[in-house]
Amino acid sequence: TQKILLDMDPGIDDAAALSIALTDDTFQVMLLTTVAGNVSVDKTTKNALRLVEFFNQEKVVPVAAGASAPLIKKYADAADVHGESGMDGWQFPDIKTDVLPEHAVVAMRNVLMSSPEKITIVATGAFTNIALLIRMYPEVLPKIAQIVLMGGTLGKGNITNVAEFNVFTDPHAAQILFTSGLPIKMIGLNVTLQALLSKENIRKLGEINQTGQMLQALFNHYADDQNGAKPMHDVNTLFYLSQPESFVFEDYHVEVITEGPANGATVANKETDKNVSVAIKVDVEAFNDWFMKKIIAI
Ligand code: BDR
Ligand code: CA
Peptide bond into 11 cis (omega under 30): yes
Query: ipTM beyond 0.95?
Result: yes
Q: How far apart are CA 150 and CA 189, in angstroms?
A: 8
How far, in Å, from the CA of 236 to the mean position of ligand 2? 11
DSSP symbol at 25: T
Distances (CA, A) of 41 to 47, 244, 271: 10, 31, 38
Choice among 82, 172, 221, 233 that is catalytic: 233
How far, in Å, from the CA of 98 to the mean position of ligand 1? 26
Question: Across the strands, what pairs with 41?
Answer: none
- pLDDT for 39 equals 98
How far, in Å, from the CA of 209 to the mean position of ligand 2? 24
The tens place of each residue's pLDDT in the chain, 298 residues long, gives 999 999 999 999 999 999 999 999 999 999 999 999 999 999 999 999 999 999 999 999 999 999 999 999 999 999 999 999 999 999 999 999 999 999 999 999 999 999 999 999 999 999 999 999 999 999 999 999 999 999 999 999 999 999 999 999 999 999 999 999 999 999 999 999 999 999 999 999 999 999 999 999 999 999 988 999 999 999 999 999 999 999 999 999 999 999 999 999 999 999 989 999 999 999 999 999 999 999 999 9
For residue 82, indicate whether it is catalytic. no
Query: Among 234, 237, 238, 239, which residue has the most ligand 1 atoms within 8 Å of its CB, making it the best to mutate?
Result: 234
Q: What ligand has the least distance to the C-alpha of 156?
A: 1
- pTM for this structure? 0.98
Inter-residue contact 281 to 195 (CB < 8 Å): no
Task: Name the nearest CA neighbour of 90 among 37, 44, 47, 42.
Answer: 47
